[in-house]
Chains A and B, each alone.
Chain A
Amino acid sequence: MDLFNLPNPPLSALLSQLLLGLVNGSFYAILSLGLAVIFGLLNVINFAHGAMFMVGAVLTWMGLAYFNAGYWAMLVLAPAIVGLFGMLTERLLLRWIYKLDHLYGLLLTLGFTLLVEGAFRSVYGVSGLTYDTPDALSGATDLGFMFLPNYRAWVVVVSLGICFVTWFLIERTRLGAYLRAGTENPRLVEAFGVNVPLMITLTYGFGVALAAFAGVLAAPVIQVSPLMGQNLIIVVFAIVVIGGMGSIMGAILTGLALGVIEGLTKVVYPEASSTVVFVVMVIVLLIRPAGLFGTQK
């Protein structure tokens, strides 16, 4: 027992928790990024984001279990399916509430979440489904000072890549310029001949596809279960409060940073690891109520 109570945890334990924190941080980053993009244009806080993350993961599992479609196929297919599904729900449900107060958007997506999670729960129950790491990424690399599990490294790298691509698309391309303009003043953009309703539909689809992508990445590291998105989405909400939804880069950085903080807390004081994000939120609210990257309107 004494081994675990050392005052200074060994370096390798620290580094492996740091990596685990980066993995979680990558999921946080992708999810809060999607939330920010959706909120920017739709003015809806998408409570269903956690459910879409879950659907991405369960689809990955289903792909292998029923259709013999492996990890790499599902890495493309699951986000595509969820994205299309998201566009459909935007057309059928969300469209009707844009003129109402933001709060109705939260309530509608909450109801939608309960429907989706309830449906998956009635089929798969609440116990976890296991999904094996794809062969190409199994094993670990010896870095000398620690063993680096290949899959975790892959998650961090590909997540950062996706985040960068999204940031580049929105901040540096013409399409992104339309999107930013639409966030600023949708009616004016429409007057310039841009099909704003279509843009909204595509944006929602893209946002939830991002969530599903994170879900696929998570399938081999987190136990796949219909309830896996529930607790995650609340943590992501706290992260969004910490970062503010004003900036894409802010959402990414806050997500990663909070993941790392959570990982380090697991080393120093494991009991607090599930609450540390909320504690950080409280501190940020006290010092900088608008959030780290936000501006108070």
Chain B
Amino acid sequence: MNPMKQITPIAYRLLLVVLIAAPFLGAYPVFVMKLMCFALFASAFNLLLGYTGLLSFGHAAFLGGSAYVAGHAMKVWGLTPELGLLAGTLAGALLGWIFGLLAIRRQGIYFAMITLALAQMLFFIALRAPFTGGEDGLQGVPRGKLFGVIDLRNDLAMYYVLLVIVLAAFLLIARTIRSPFGQVLKGIKENEPRALSLGYDVARYKLLAFVISAALSGLAGSLKTLVLGFATLSDVHWSASGQVILMTLVGGLGTLSGPLVGASVVVVIENKIGEVGQLLAGLTGIEWPHSLGESVTMVMGALFVICVLAFRRGIMGEVIDFAQKRRQGRWGVSQNGSNQPAIRSGGVR
């Protein structure tokens, strides 16, 4: 038996138990909810980069665009939360379809640049459009009542509703990856010309993967608006796209659990780095770490550089690799698993 196969379900169940119990263990519910939104965002992104080999540099457009649409639907049109989320998700899917149609005309590095440029265009539109509130963002989005019954203004109710939705979305991603469709995506990532020569309509598969990823990112953005009550320009800014790449990279490209871990690491670093700096300054008596909180960008940059140069498999990639190596050591079975670098050029570029 593969030890990972035994450990993995236990680990996921443990995580679920921790998440269910988190509000009673003293965790601040809104922070954990924000974390879950980003975990979903990163998982949706990983479906594209980790499993299809497409680097989208424009996922902020789906997160932020949907956040605005959901917020507008719930605040101005007065839609119920479930309809607001649906509107946001559909907006993500629609944007994803448009972006995808344009971007899959080019490959590799151009794909990344096109998605980045399209997302930047959406950023400028969000900056100017009347309904986004410009620099101030869309404020005061009401949480309302889910199905007219569950009052989401209660943080605890909101927390469990969010947990259920994120869990469902995550299971959907896991199911997609294990489905025949997901296998074709992996095939395209490994060797695109071969997938093409086997008769797969590669462009259509890529587009569909892009739309699914965008729709789920849109769901993450809509949930974020619902939880926090606002949508701002920072969600559509390209740095959000960079952030989700970093989350996936830190956690482990092409691993199911990687984005969850990566999102937690990045969000925690972002929110707590100021405190860590204070602590370091207090411990060492050196003045410099005090300003660590102001240099989040630099820490993120350093993380990027370290990950790309020395740590391409990411945290979960290393864990899985370690488990597989142990297994090989004990049973001497050769196993070609995920011990190659995660992005590989599929032959002709």
**Contact check: which of B120, B124, B301, B307 meets A115 at CB < 8 Å?**
B301
Complex CA–CA separation, A241 to B60 (angstroms): 20
Contacting pair B106 A281 (CB below 8 A):
no
Other CB < 8 Å A-B pairs besides A237-B116, A241-B106, 17 of them? Answer: A100-B343, A101-B343, A101-B344, A102-B109, A102-B349, A106-B55, A118-B299, A119-B298, A122-B291, A231-B120, A234-B117, A235-B117, A237-B113, A238-B113, A278-B118, A281-B114, A297-B348
Taking the nearest CB of chain B, how far is it from the CB of A220, in angstroms? 26
Residues of B within 8 Å of A, CB-based: how many?
47
Encoded as 1 (CB less than 8 Å from any A CB) or 0, chain B from 300 to 325 comes to 11111101110010000000000000
Measured CB to CB, the nearest residue on chain A to B114 is A241
User: What are 13 A-B contacts defined by CB distance under 8 Å?
Assistant: A104-B308, A107-B307, A111-B302, A111-B303, A115-B301, A118-B297, A121-B297, A234-B117, A235-B117, A238-B117, A238-B120, A241-B114, A279-B121
With a CB–CB cut-off of 8 A, which chain B residues contact A240?
113
Complex CA–CA separation, A263 to B112 (angstroms): 27
**Contact check: which of A39, A104, A114, A274 meets B242 at CB < 8 Å?**
A114
Query: A14 on the interface (CB 8 Å rule)?
Result: no
Query: A112 on the interface (CB 8 Å rule)?
Result: yes
Complex CA–CA separation, A231 to B237 (angstroms): 10
Contacting pair B118 A110 (CB below 8 A):
no
Query: B18 on the interface (CB 8 Å rule)?
Result: no
The 7 closest A-B pairs by CB, nearest first: A111-B304, A114-B301, A118-B298, A118-B297, A115-B301, A278-B121, A238-B117
Query: A97 on the interface (CB 8 Å rule)?
Result: yes
With a CB–CB cut-off of 8 A, which chain A residues contact B124?
274-275, 278
Chain A interface SS verdict (over half): helix
With a CB–CB cut-off of 8 A, which chain B residues contact A176?
none
Query: A45 on the interface (CB 8 Å rule)?
Result: yes
Complex CA–CA separation, A93 to B121 (angstroms): 31
Taking the nearest CB of chain A, how far is it from the CB of B299, in angstroms? 8
> A-B pairs with CB below 8 Å: how many?
133
Contacting pair B302 A100 (CB below 8 A):
no
Query: A271 on the interface (CB 8 Å rule)?
Result: yes
Complex CA–CA separation, A277 to B345 (angstroms): 29
Complex CA–CA separation, A221 to B100 (angstroms): 37
Given the contacts A97-B309, A114-B298, A241-B113, A107 and B106 also touching, CB distance less than 8 Å: no
Taking the nearest CB of chain B, how far is it from the CB of A8, in angstroms? 25
Encoded as 1 (CB less than 8 Å from any A CB) or 0, chain B from 265 to 305 comes to 00000000000000000000000000100111111111111
Complex CA–CA separation, A117 to B105 (angstroms): 32
Query: B157 on the interface (CB 8 Å rule)?
Result: no
With a CB–CB cut-off of 8 A, which chain B residues contact A93?
305, 309
Contacting pair B102 A286 (CB below 8 A):
yes
Query: B210 on the interface (CB 8 Å rule)?
Result: no
